[in-house]
Amino acid sequence: MKRLAPYLLILPGGLWLAIFLVVPMVFMASVSTQEGDVVNGFVQTFNFSMYGDALVQYQTQFLRSAGYGLVATIISVALAYPMAYWIAFKGGDRKSTYLLLVLLPFFVSFVLRTVSWKFLLADNGMLLAPLKSAGLLPEDFHVLQTTVAVIGGLVYNYLPFMILPIYVALERVDPRVIEAAQDLYASRREAFTKVVLPLSLPGVFAGVLMTFVPMTADYVNAGILGGPENTMIGNIIQTEYLVNNDYPTAAALSFTLMAAMLIGIFAYAKALGTENVLEAAAR
């Protein structure tokens, strides 16, 4: 019984993943190499040309999504790090209150938050109308349906996923190591760059993992806040699946996206010098 215990612990979660992750993935992999249409039926032909065709046809959207994901991730780090740092080291007794405030937007539905941006940023809405009537902005200036709106929406929606892991990493930094660094004649800046920052990098890595991946695959922000030039790969997959019922193309696109992101993440881990990606993320 004792020897079985570890296996029993992993059983529920393992079964869950096997049934709801692995099995659908295998099915989707199979679908991605089928040919046909809904009316005449799909036939398993192991035709991999779908991958090449889809990649060529939608390379613009792939590159655009990666670009948006990258820019939004960088902005998220820039916003999240100082905030996490402040909460971890200067938050005092109110740390948990500040964390709650960071999480508060999550209590509102994702789509509702994004839609509320539409009202806030409307051409004659509460933000732009006063600036326009004051002559600070040209009459035809608009934010909605621009790249700025889409990236802004992505950052807004995923920022807490960046703050939390960085906070957890910083929170674990023992203030005494900073003192030790200063005792050894490190300036405040050196103490940060040589001690605190390296110790918090696994948190940054986890934050990047938790924001870059969903941001790149996101379709809600581009759909609601974007315009004709902002279509992301998530929107294409959604259309292929639900409007065209072209399941093989949608599946092939999903797998290509997944592969591209896995490669990107591992390259990033390597560049960061993290020996074990998953371990770093879990820390």
65 binds another protein (CB under 8 A): no
53 binds another protein (CB under 8 A): no
Q: Estimate the crossing angle of helix 59-90 against helix 95-103, to 10 degrees.
A: 160
Pairing of β 41-44 and β 34-37:
antiparallel
Binding test (CB under 8 A) with another protein, winner from 22, 49, 52, 60: 60
18 binds another protein (CB under 8 A): no
47 binds another protein (CB under 8 A): no
User: 3-state DSSP call for residue 147?
Assistant: helix
- CB-nearer residue toward another protein: 64 or 211: 64
What is the rounded distance in angstroms from the CA atom of residue 107 to the CA atom of residue 215?
Answer: 19
- CB-nearer residue toward another protein: 27 or 86: 27
Binding test (CB under 8 A) with another protein, winner from 11, 17, 22, 27: 27
Site for another protein in 152-181 (CB under 8 A): none
DSSP 231: -
Question: b/e for 190-203, b at 16 or more Cβ within 10 A?
Answer: ebbeebbeebbbbb
- CB-nearer residue toward another protein: 7 or 109: 109
Q: How far is CA 119 from CA 116, 151, 157, 224, in A?
A: 5, 17, 16, 11
Structure token pair of residue 128 = 């732009």
- CB-nearer residue toward another protein: 4 or 43: 43
Q: Which residues bind another protein (CB under 8 A)?
A: 24, 26-28, 30-31, 36-44, 60-61, 109, 111-112, 115-116, 118-119, 122-125, 140, 142, 144-145, 220, 224, 226-229, 231, 235-236, 238-239, 241-247, 251
